[in-house]
Chains A and B, each alone.
Chain A
Amino acid sequence: MKLRLPLFAAATALALVTACTPGTGGGGGGEGDGKSFEFWSFSAINQKLTVDAYQAKHPDIQIKLTEVGTSTETAQSLTTALAGGKVPDLVLIQGDNLPQFVEQPQNFVDLRTLGADDVKGDYLDWVWEQSVAKDGEVLGVPTDVGGMAVAYRTDLFAAAGLPTDRESVSALWPTWDAFIETGKRYKQATGKAFTDNAATSVFYQAVNQVSEKYYSADRKLVYSTNPQVKTAFELGIKAATAGITAGQSSFESAWSAGMAQGQYAAVSAPSWMLNSIRSTAPDTKGKWDIAKIPGSGGNWGGSYLAIPKRAKNPQAAWNYIKEMQSPAGQLEHFTRVGALPSTPSVYKDAKLTDAKDSFFSDAPTGKIYTDSLLALKPFYIGPDSAAIGQEFLNAITNVEQSGGNPATAWDDAVRNIKTAIGE
């Protein structure tokens, strides 16, 4: 019997979640006292600082902050909660997870009913659009965006005879092909890997710089026929087979160890990655700098705040969104934790443009990242975008780390995607 427990546990988990259909548990929402609300956020993003700042200004409001886990775990918990459990009043959803919730707008408060239309103009329009459901319901307010850049080790670049100041380094790689060539120069000079991996540091960046990604503007699947996707994929394969990568998948423990030990010299770094580098390799303080991303601008990451339909205190949650996600609120959040605002009106603010990061050789982070956003071409992100992206990443990792055949990688990826999304 003991050994059969996992099967029962899996069945139990499945059935517990499925036992209740959406909206059946806990009334229609809104019956709370309006003086308190529950907030689910991710761990390790310092959300508490901003919550504390709000409570200092509003001593009569109680916020119960729960750091659920990673962004994926938070989305999983939210799904479970929406299916029949106790929902929070306010929840942070990472951009990659957002489409699956936008497909089911009946689970969330349409923020237009609380006044979202009044603040819409404050945000980058393409970021805002991603949380709008098919009938125009607004499900979330963007809290931050990632932007794009490359973080590199000045000491390792110097040892390889490459320039070290950020302007000259940016000039090394106007295109992704030039980035790969720079990697070969570095490898030749040092014998070491240039970047962490081909999948995230090359393909995932390049594929986010397109004007049309896995879906066309009219929301049809075009991942297998879109030449822009194929070009980005081939860049990834080229990097994987050029021998310039360390073959360390992002966020694995050996990736962290490799970063701390200087196993690779450059890593693609949206603004939120800076925190990750800082905590992963604290001893490398001052040895990093930040250069422009090859190609044009682009974005990786960013999150949204949403209010579930059954929330007990939707108004209190909305008041929080309105105040803390206003342009001024996001600018303040940027100065506290470095998350890049999604409100373009503050991009020229001195607090942002003058912000320098001493860990990264006093790089003007605010300016570098906002520049990458302003050069961005928005595209539609659909319900299967995350699954499609994952299969492409897997195909490149397979070539890089598991000896997969680069010649068949594209066809393999497309076939796996068809299986995965049931097309």
Chain B
Amino acid sequence: MTATLTPAPTAALPPPAAPKARGLGERLAPYAYIAPFFVIFGVFGLFPFAFTFYVALFDWNPIGDQVFIGVDNFTRMFGDPRFWNATGNTLSIWVLSTVPQLLLALVLAHVLNHARLRFALFFRMAVLVPYITSVAATAIVFVQLFDRDYGLLNWLLGLVGVEPVDFVQSTWGSHVLIATMVTWRWFGYTTLLYLASLQAVPRSVFEAAAIDGAGSWQRFRHITIPSLRPVIIFTVVTSTIGGLQIFTEPLLIASGAPLTCGAVRQCQTLTLFLYEQGFGQFEFGYGSAIGVALFVMVVAIAAINYLLSTRIKADR
């Protein structure tokens, strides 16, 4: 250690200037910088959102009278078989799309994280291609693939002697069709989320397990899944919220009766029911009431997410 003293660098600087009384403009400037977002959010997000709750209390004809009817829209909704049908369809499509999607993504993420995978970057980017394809284009292609009389899938089924399946007109068929589209669109995105999280796990853990004789399945079961637990919960919740709002796919698959997704509302989801009532029948009040119900469901699921994720943190 030398005893040479070097002057502290700060000493060379002039003392900090006493804070000047800033002008009003300067104090408001930061708010002005962030204002565009909040103004637009307020106009297109917050206000309409709050207004929906207001409209839900009215019998609201957009080009006629608006009559206050209290909670009648909600009473009507709870007794409306179409609402429960839409709720059931939404849940069914959600299960059919979320479960295979998350399982597929888990396996894919595990494979893509493999140390000896060649062209890893290519494969990691390739899984995102369905995600960046427009929903409408996906729907048009899938409807043709699944068509009863001219679809490729039924042609293949016909080769092995299976009668043509009418995917759009049957309840389970239309749910499978929509779930396939949703899975196709989202599995790559979920895979990347898992992969990002997996890459935070030190590779040495996997290597040590391999040296100790753990096979691929054991590494998947005992390393991949436990280390992904928080992000799995996260994706379950986000895909649930997304699943509650499936709209474009059911709107596009039954072009003969688009607003009901078929003759017997076999694949009408909650958001499509909202749209049908609001913009097909112009019952804005009733449509808003459905929107409020949807909001309550989303909040409930977000709350469950919060409880689960705090418990996971506490477990560690």
Contact = CB atoms under 8 A, between A and B. Distances in A.
A250 interface: yes
A17 B64 contact: no
Interface residues of A, number: 55
A402 B63 contact: no
Interface string A1-41: 00110111011111111110110000000000000000000
B64 A7 contact: no
A275 interface: no
B275 A250 contact: no
Interface in B53-101: 55, 60-64, 66, 76, 80-82
Interface string B234-271: 00001001100101000000111100101110100001
Given A253-B144, A254-B148, A254-B149, A11 B48 contact: yes
A322 B93 CA distance: 53
A329 to B, nearest CB: 29
A15 B271 contact: no
A186 to B, nearest CB: 18
B274 interface: yes
B188 interface: no
A389 B74 CA distance: 26
A258 interface: yes
Contacts of B81: 419
Given A15-B52, A104-B61, A263 B241 contact: no
Contacts of A22: 62-64
A8 B62 contact: no
Contacts of B171: 402
A334 to B, nearest CB: 29
B194 interface: no
B257 A394 contact: yes
Given A249-B256, A394-B257, A3 B275 contact: no
A263 to B, nearest CB: 7
Interface string B270-282: 0100110011011
Contact of B264 (A255, A257, A390, A404): A404
A175 to B, nearest CB: 26
B48 A401 contact: no
Nearest to B245: A6
Interface stretch (B9-17, B114-122, B291-299, B308-316): B291-299
Contact of A253 (B44, B47, B76, B255): B255
B60 A251 contact: no
A141 to B, nearest CB: 20
A10 B63 contact: no
Interface in A377-398: 387, 390, 393-395, 397-398
A67 to B, nearest CB: 19
B148 A403 contact: no
Given A10-B271, A10-B291, A401 B169 contact: yes
B37 interface: no
Interface residues of B, number: 56
A14 B278 contact: yes
Given A6-B271, A18-B51, A402-B169, A393 B263 contact: yes
B263 A394 contact: yes
A22 B149 CA distance: 47
B123 interface: no
B242 A3 contact: yes
B254 to A, nearest CB: 8
Interface string A235-258: 000000000001111111111011
A15 B149 contact: no
A76 B279 contact: yes
A216 interface: no
Nearest to A258: B149
B45 interface: yes
Given A11-B291, A15-B52, A402 B144 contact: no
Nearest to A100: B282
Nearest to A390: B257
Given A3-B238, A252-B256, A402-B262, A11 B64 contact: no
A247 B263 CA distance: 12
B298 A7 contact: yes
A258 B242 CA distance: 36
Contact of B256 (A18, A104, A251): A251
A257 to B, nearest CB: 5
Contacts of A59: none
A402 B262 CA distance: 9
Contacts of B294: 7
A18 B55 contact: yes
Contacts of B263: 199, 249, 393-395, 397-398, 401-402
Given A4-B298, A402-B263, A14 B52 contact: yes
B184 interface: no
A14 B245 contact: no
Listed residue (A10, A22, A248) with the most chain B CB atoms within 10 angstroms of its CB: A10
16 contacts: A10-B291, A12-B44, A13-B48, A14-B52, A14-B278, A15-B47, A15-B55, A18-B55, A18-B284, A80-B62, A107-B63, A248-B149, A250-B256, A251-B256, A252-B256, A393-B263
Given A247-B148, A397-B257, A401-B169, 17 more contacts: A7-B245, A7-B294, A8-B44, A15-B51, A18-B284, A22-B64, A79-B63, A82-B62, A104-B64, A247-B166, A248-B149, A249-B256, A252-B256, A257-B149, A258-B149, A394-B264, A401-B263
